[in-house]
Structure 1
Amino acid sequence: MNPYPPGAYRPPNDRWGPFSRLAKRLPEGSLAVVDRTVARLHPDLIPALKARAPRAIVQLVGGESAKSFTALEKVLAAGLSLPRSGTLLAVGGGTVGDVSTVAAHLLKRGVRLVQVPTTLLAAVDSSLGGKGAVDLTVKGRVVKNPAGVFHYAEESWVCPELFSTLSPTQVREGSLEAWKMVISLDAALFRRYVRKPPALEKLVKDARGLKERVCAKDPYEHTGLRRVLNFGHTFGHVLESVSHFKLSHGDAVGLGILLALDVGRHLGVTPEPIAAQAEAALAEGPGVLGRERVASLLRPAPLKDIVTLLDADKKAGAKGELRMVLLTAIGSTEVRDVAPETWRALWPSWTKGVRP
């Protein structure tokens, strides 16, 4: 008997290897959700799935449009005949993984989920930790992830050959998310990374290990321990939204970290040398985009739109405080409620592309 109810927390069960070999583990009659671009770039993928006689193969266009109720309905409709003991296989980046996680949670009140991350960002972050969500449009702006679930995957297949077709931008954004975890969670690993940046497979294994260490202590975000994983996300989500999602999530988180370091320095939480060390490591390691990119996005954005996005995302109090993760030392963070006047004081520098 399976000791875990559908979607409940379970320790990660990572299997590394070629997709063609791991696909043989897929039960017949499963539902597969596949990123259309991945299927095109890896022509052996769909035949390997068809060999397992799936109930259906749903191909979605990856990107933020995949995290819509329209895409969710398409997956749910394809899985109507899936039994509760059935399997939903998600092959794609974070957005395909997100909508698939929500669908796996809803179908028959919870079916088995297998994650196959095809981007570095999904491999180091979104495919682990059980979270899935879809977006909503509020006052004409897309708000990320307000409707979601926890539904942990029973297995994750990590297939390095799927990363071979990633663009430099995709490699950078996944690396930024991994470095975020190293900077905020593990000082010793940070020192090793600064001396010698890791190979891609080690980066993935390290990041997955760091995230699992956090998720195991707070699998459903009840205790607040998982908030550390939101380092860089408060303003990162804002930058994504005002760019109309032309700025990738990983790049947005990288820039969001720079702004979080500014907030921390302004409040006296982040020591100046620590902020400088972290910013330099992000520039020299994964290659965070420059502050001019922040300015180019924030300058044309009406301040009232920024307030709306912040209110919808990480609002902590009635007076509009932001609950932000701030760095206190390499490998150590603190959650603070940040008053609106704090970030507004930094706004002029941010819109000029300079460090406050």
Structure 2
Amino acid sequence: MKTSLPPGAYRPANDTWGSFKRLCANLPEGSLAVVDRRVARLHPTLLPTLKARNPRAVVLLTGGEVAKTFEALEQVVAAGLAMPRSGTLIAIGGGTIGDVSTVAAHLLKRGVRLIQVPTTLLAAVDSSLGGKGAVDITVRGRVVKNPVGVFHYAEEAWLCPELYETLSDTQLREGALEAWKMVASLDAELFRAYVRREPSLERMVKDARRLKESVCAKDPYEHQGLRRVLNFGHTFGHVLESVSRFKLSHGDAVGLGMLCALDVGRALGVTPEDAAWKVEDALHQGPGVLGRERTMDLLQRATLKDVTALLSADKKAGSAGELRMVLLTDIGIAVVRDVGAEVWRKLWPVWTRGERP
């Protein structure tokens, strides 16, 4: 006898492309909707379309890191207290809305059905796939990203092209950087194709989601460490985000973090010089990574003590304090290596001058 999977359990990506109005016609009545306020303003038909499905509640949150707090999580959970365990939570917004909604879906009734509707390119290519959700906490006055989280896979993802039409150039760039991250670290042939001809937005989303799904399927709960390769650029990217007090967007932070990772890989003799040059050049020519002077500006505001504290709080750090960094041994081939503090500390003076080591 075939049994259904429990809510939140691993399931292959179930992506549907189409207009929000058409897809929303299948939303179960009595669902809990979590919606980014700005998205609702930019797309005036969205809330009426939702409300036509008689939702139990619609929670409007402000997107960004302020959505990834325990206060925002409590607001979502409180709105869903009367939901049955068979209920559905639909998350409509960027990555931060998806993150807090994923945690809420996992906690409500010990797990309810989740639908992800990413409204940013960054969420479409990355965070809305893979089952991970988290909230931030503050340690010694610094916000630490994602130390408290869950795995709760969405049963569906709705990819609605009209929601991407209002994205700014910055939002398009940061989503493209995350997509290029996966291509550069996982698929050399696709990387070469992207360098020859810039992909369309839809092609980039489909490629990135396919690459990420291929990794998540082998290690859905990160028990084997295989998913660590998806963190290329994230170690120092998270530091730069925190140092900027999140004025630097996540996608731009990952872009700068990839440059740092290329430097660390070269310093260790892991990343060949020519591969590092090709990737860095492609990140400038393709998605348009911010220049190294941005890293300089941010690191000049921080002390070595600040950065060391942020790195030690990173959930990817090893038990002895070493960094578990994703480095490239070639284009399309990523490995995880332990990196001692002495390695990145030697690079610090160069980074703070905005130079390439």
TM score, norm. by length of structure 2 = 0.99
Cα distance, 1:303 vs structure 2 = 1.1
- Encode CA deviations 1:143-197: one digit per residue, 9 max, x unaligned: 0000000000000000010000000000000000000000000001001000001
Residue 212 of structure 2 aligns to a residue whose secondary structure is helix
C-alpha distance in 2 between matches for 1:67 and 1:2: 34
C-alpha distance in 2 between matches for 1:185 and 1:248: 23
Give the 5 Å matches for 1:45-124.
45-124=46-125
C-alpha distance in 2 between matches for 1:86 and 1:131: 20
Structure 1 stretches of 5 or more lacking a match? none
C-alpha distance in 2 between matches for 1:93 and 1:298: 27
Give the 5 Å matches for 1:189-228.
189-228=190-229
Matching residue of 2:150: 149
C-alpha distance in 2 between matches for 1:236 and 1:103: 26
Amino acid at match of 1:220: Y
C-alpha distance in 2 between matches for 1:49 and 1:156: 16
Give the 5 Å matches for 1:146-295.
146-295=147-296
C-alpha distance in 1 between matches for 2:186 and 2:38: 34
C-alpha distance in 1 between matches for 2:275 and 2:4: 44
C-alpha distance in 1 between matches for 2:341 and 2:319: 11
Residue 217 of structure 1 aligns to a residue whose secondary structure is coil
Matching residue of 1:315: 317
- Encode CA deviations 1:208-251: one digit per residue, 9 max, x unaligned: 00000000000000111100000000000000000000000000
Alpha carbon RMSD of aligned pairs, Å?
A: 0.6
Matching residue of 1:336: 337
Percent identical across equivalent pairs?
75
- Encode CA deviations 1:251-304: one digit per residue, 9 max, x unaligned: 000000000000000000000000000000000000000000000000120111
Runs of 4+ in 1 over 3 A off after TM superposition: none
The answer to whether 1:350 aligns with 2:320 is no
Residue 40 of structure 1 aligns to a residue whose secondary structure is helix
Give the 5 Å matches for 1:20-59.
20-59=21-60
Residue 337 of structure 1 aligns to a residue whose secondary structure is strand
Cα distance, 1:315 vs structure 2 = 1.6
C-alpha distance in 2 between matches for 1:4 and 1:137: 35
Matching residue of 2:7: 6
C-alpha distance in 2 between matches for 1:336 and 1:241: 23
Amino acid at match of 2:169: P
Amino acid at match of 1:91: I
C-alpha distance in 1 between matches for 2:47 and 2:301: 44
- Encode CA deviations 1:44-87: one digit per residue, 9 max, x unaligned: 00000000000000000000000000000000000000000000
Amino acid at match of 2:295: V
C-alpha distance in 1 between matches for 2:168 and 2:313: 32
Matching residue of 2:305: 304
Residue 62 of structure 1 aligns to a residue whose secondary structure is coil
Structure 2 stretches of 5 or more lacking a match? none
C-alpha distance in 2 between matches for 1:3 and 1:227: 29
C-alpha distance in 2 between matches for 1:113 and 1:334: 32
C-alpha distance in 2 between matches for 1:322 and 1:150: 23
C-alpha distance in 1 between matches for 2:341 and 2:246: 24
TM score, norm. by length of structure 1 = 0.99
Amino acid at match of 1:200: L
Amino acid at match of 1:75: V
Cα distance, 1:3 vs structure 2 = 2.3
Counting matched residue pairs gives 355
Cα distance, 1:317 vs structure 2 = 3.1
Residue 76 of structure 1 aligns to a residue whose secondary structure is helix
Cα distance, 1:2 vs structure 2 = 4.9
C-alpha distance in 2 between matches for 1:222 and 1:331: 23
Cα distance, 1:5 vs structure 2 = 1.2
Amino acid at match of 1:39: A
Residue 217 of structure 2 aligns to a residue whose secondary structure is helix
Amino acid at match of 1:17: G
